[in-house]
Amino acid sequence: MNYLSTLEAAKKWGISDRAVRRYCLEGKVEGAFLEDNRWHIPRNASMPGRPHTKIKVTFPGTLLNALREEKSCSLKGGIYHKVQISLTYNSNHIEGSTLTEDETRFIYDDKLVVPESGAARLNDVLETVNHFECVDFVIDHANDQLTEALIKDIHRLLKERTEDSKKSWFAVGDYKRFQNSIGGISVTTPPEKVAQEMKNLLSLYNAKPAHNFSDLLDFHVKFESIHPFQDGNGRVGRLILFKECLKNDIVPFIIEDDIKKFYYRGLREWKQDKAFLTDTCLSAQDRFKKYLDYFRIPYKD
């Protein structure tokens, strides 16, 4: 059977392409299925709204397909919406953001700031809005090879328009110019050596055609040890983790507040004992699997 694209169906039915995509996503087009990020619509399918329309929708494959499709039609209440709020809130909260999860949701859903405490730091709001854009960016570029340019783009999106971007010495979208540390404890790579160490790290990582869970954690630890940017390394690192999980068809995970101390311990102890970080991230992955089960998105165990 030959199938229609959403554009062809839109022309046939006299509605917008976006409306057709939304109908398909909501399961209102009989026989429609998603493959290679494109909807395939039977030529004899009826436009939704007519009586006796059966519901049949298939998401063959991956979480990435669902995220991209829900993102394309700005669907609320699905897995994409959940990821945007949860990943942004938790990753920013780890780094000291004062915004609550509800405030984060208000900013995303309604473009409003409704501070529960009566006040909100402008920079926290700006970095929250920026993080939403970062999540979209890693979804759009999930299958791209991890490069210095891509990583710098994530940092630029995270930091542009913020207070840091107004500092003459702060390099938005570029490597640090001054020595920094992780929590005032760990020694990180000196600024003059960052570029070479990042090249070495990415060269070794990209030499493998595919990566497993342990590979991703190992890269994350080494990235955080280099700490290539003046600020924002934790959030950029966790966004990279999310991207690479999508690329390698690995269930992602979000580090929430109640396990962040175990996450930090895992980073510190990785060289001596990989079990601390592995167990922490596997626990977070189990939580994410519950989201996938709820939204009926298949995944590999």
Share of the chain above pLDDT 70, in %: 92
Tally Cβ neighbours within 10 Å of residue 104: 24
CA-CA distance, 128 to 92, in Å (whole number)? 7
Task: Give the residue range(s) of CATH 1.10.3290.10 domains in the chain.
Answer: 69-294
3-class SS of residue 207: coil
> Is the CB of residue 76 less than 8 Å from the CB of residue 109?
yes
Question: Residue 60: what pLDDT?
Answer: 47
CA-CA distance, 40 to 31, in Å (whole number)? 8
The backbone region for 111, taken as left when phi is positive above 0, alpha when psi lies in -120 to 50, beta otherwise, is left
Question: Is the model's pLDDT at 56 over the cut of 50?
Answer: no
Question: Is the model's pLDDT at 278 over the cut of 60?
Answer: yes
Question: Is the model's pLDDT at 118 over the cut of 70?
Answer: no
Question: Residue 38: what pLDDT?
Answer: 82
Tally Cβ neighbours within 10 Å of residue 176: 21
Q: Which of the residue ranges 16-30, 59-73, 280-294 would you say has the lowest mean pLDDT?
A: 16-30
CA-CA distance, 159 to 131, in Å (whole number)? 9
DSSP code of 252? -
Supply angle C-alpha 76, 79, 105, rounded to 5: 50
If one compares 33 and 54, the residue with the highest pLDDT of the two is: 33
Mean pLDDT for 99-122 is 82
Question: Residue 49: what pLDDT?
Answer: 66
CA-CA distance, 142 to 223, in Å (whole number)? 18
CA-CA distance, 270 to 217, in Å (whole number)? 9
Question: Is the model's pLDDT at 128 over the cut of 50?
Answer: yes
Token couple for 176:
């640090």
69-294, CATH topology level:
Fic-like fold (1.10.3290)
CA-CA distance, 170 to 177, in Å (whole number)? 8
The continuous run of DSSP H or E covering 93 comes out as: helix 79-94
Question: Residue 189: what pLDDT?
Answer: 97
For 11-23, how does the pLDDT look when each residue is reduced to its tens digit (9 = 90+)?
Answer: 888 787 777 877 8
Question: Is the model's pLDDT at 272 over the cut of 70?
Answer: yes
For 68-86, how does the pLDDT look when each residue is reduced to its tens digit (9 = 90+)?
Answer: 999 998 899 999 999 999 9
With cut-offs at 50, 70 and 90, classify the pLDDT of residue 61: low
Question: Residue 58: what pLDDT?
Answer: 44
3-class SS of residue 39: strand
Task: Work out whether the CA dihedral 281, 87, 243, 175 comes out positive or negative.
Answer: negative
Question: Residue 287: what pLDDT?
Answer: 95
> Rounded to two decimals, what is the model's pTM?
0.80
Query: What letters, b where the CB count within 10 A reaches 16 and e where it falls short, cover 144-157?
Result: eebeeebbbbbbbb
Q: What average pLDDT does the structure give for the chain?
A: 90
Question: Residue 197: what pLDDT?
Answer: 98
Question: Is the model's pLDDT at 110 over the cut of 50?
Answer: yes
Question: Is the model's pLDDT at 225 over the cut of 90?
Answer: yes
The interaxial angle of helices 275-294 and 79-94, nearest 10 deg, is 150
Question: Is the model's pLDDT at 91 over the cut of 70?
Answer: yes
CA-CA distance, 157 to 133, in Å (whole number)? 7
For 168-217, how does the pLDDT look when each residue is reduced to its tens digit (9 = 90+)?
Answer: 999 999 999 999 988 656 789 999 999 999 999 999 999 999 999 999 99
Question: Residue 69: what pLDDT?
Answer: 93
Question: Residue 117: what pLDDT?
Answer: 63
Mean pLDDT for 255-274 is 93
Picking from 226, 222, 279, the residue whose alpha carbon sits closest to that of residue 253 is: 279
DSSP strands (E only) in the chain: 3-4, 33-35, 38-42, 181-182, 186-187
Mean pLDDT for 260-283 is 94
3-class SS of residue 137: helix
